[in-house]
Amino acid sequence: MSDQGADKTTHFGFKTVAEDAKAGMVRNVFDAVAPKYDLMNDLMSGGIHRIWKAAMVDALAPRPGQAIVDVAGGTADVAARIHERLVRGGAALHRPVTVCDINAEMLGVGRDRMLDRGVIAGLSWVCGNAEALPFPDMSFDAYTIAFGLRNVTHIDTALREARRVLKPGGRFLCLEFSRVVVPVVDTLYDTYSFKVLPWLGQTVAGDRDAYVYLAESIRKFPDQARLVAMMEAAGLGRATYRNFTGGIAALHSGWRL
């Protein structure tokens, strides 16, 4: 099952674009919103993204000796939570959690924020593409990706890369917007996504288009069952998922067997 079209076009939200143009377009989106990214997440979701991310870290249950990479880690919101969980569990010194993102701007905002909080040693920062990760085979015990898989050009390639860098027995966790499964909520959510979100994007981040892209890219992303099938096809076994908030988001889990 491949999302690579023979004609070498793909989608950027609802637009059809040349495959090799998409990564640059996605990079522009996050360059533009990086300084306001975390504030926008709180405003858009009413803070609910924090609950979803906390549930992801609960599912991960990180342990101090583990090598963990958070791909498309952006401003390190998830990696910081993993680090905090390890410290709270008594591991003041643990292996640094690796944050990998294609966008240096997002990593820069995250690094500054962590320095402000006095977190210097707990995280390491790598600029890299989820489709061609700059890590050797079997490097990590766990791979997490939150709200990132939707943005890559070839989801199947990114999933195969996740498997490649995981050690046998390693855990894969993906938190992503998904398909709403509750009637009525789906209609309300559509109105919110296509009317309120772009307005909020314009008002707070000064970028309407970035939030139109967000709403559209969510609709183009594979639904819960399809993503399970794509994970299995990429060699991430025992794939399962759990819906959050009626399927607005879902947490997919798999293992390199």
Cα–Cα dist 104/24, whole Å = 13
How wide is the angle at C-alpha 176 spanned by C-alphas 208 and 123, nearest 5°?
95
26: enclosing H helix or E strand: helix 19-33
User: Considering the complex, what minimum distance in angstroms separates the CB of residue 104 from ligand SAM?
Assistant: 9
Name the residue whose CB lies closest to ligand SAM: 74
Contact track, ligand SAM, 66-105, x by CB under 6 A: ------xxx--xx----------------------xxx--
How wide is the angle at C-alpha 200 spanned by C-alphas 103 and 246, nearest 5°?
85
Cα–Cα dist 175/153, whole Å = 17
Under the criterion CB under 6 A, does residue 211 sit at the interface with ligand SAM?
A: no
Q: Which of 194, 239, 185, 236 is nearest to 218 (CA)?
A: 194
Total residues interacting with ligand SAM, rule: CB under 6 A: 20
Instruction: Tell which one of 10, 66, 98, 151 touches ligand SAM (CB under 6 A).
Output: 151
Cβ nearer to ligand SAM, comparing 44 with 67: 44
Residue 130 near residue 26 (C-beta atoms within 8 A): no
Task: Select from 60-68, 123-131, 187-195, 229-237 the region that touches ligand SAM (CB under 6 A).
Answer: 123-131
Beta bridge partners of 125: 99
Under the criterion CB under 6 A, does residue 146 sit at the interface with ligand SAM?
A: yes
Binders of ligand SAM in range 32-71 (CB under 6 A): none
Under the criterion CB under 6 A, does residue 131 sit at the interface with ligand SAM?
A: yes
Residue 200 near residue 207 (C-beta atoms within 8 A): no
Binders of ligand SAM in range 219-248 (CB under 6 A): none
User: Considering the complex, what minimum distance in angstroms separates the CB of residue 211 from ligand SAM?
Assistant: 11
User: Considering the complex, what minimum distance in angstroms separates the CB of residue 136 from ligand SAM?
Assistant: 18
Residue 147 near residue 176 (C-beta atoms within 8 A): yes
Cα–Cα dist 20/15, whole Å = 14
Binding interface with ligand SAM (CB under 6 A): 23, 26, 30, 72-74, 77-78, 101-103, 106, 129-131, 146-148, 151-152
